[in-house]
Amino acid sequence: MKQFTCLDATPEGGTPCDFVAQGETSEEVINMMKAHAGEKHADLIAQATPESMATWEQMAPTKVTDV
């Protein structure tokens, strides 16, 4: 089982949020986090640039933990 918390998904200084995505694969929890961010952190997504999204895409798998 994989886990990805919103705190880990958010850059430092980001919104404190206790959302936790859990699923069978890294891909699944990352997609859940994207859906969550689009819904609950639309302000952050609105500020994102293609560069910052690319950085996030690279960072995300490193923040996924096994549970």
Pick from 2, 4, 19, 60: which binds Zn ion (CB under 5 A)?
A: 19
Shortest CB 37 distance to Zn ion, Å: 6
**Three-state DSSP class for residue 46:** helix
21 makes contact with Zn ion (CB under 5 A): no
Name the phi and psi angles at 48, rounded to 5.
-70, 145
Q: What's the rounded Cα separation, in Å, for the pair 6 and 21?
A: 8
Residues 37-56 within binding reach of Zn ion (CB under 5 A): 40
4 makes contact with Zn ion (CB under 5 A): no
Residues binding Zn ion (CB under 5 A): 6, 17, 19, 40
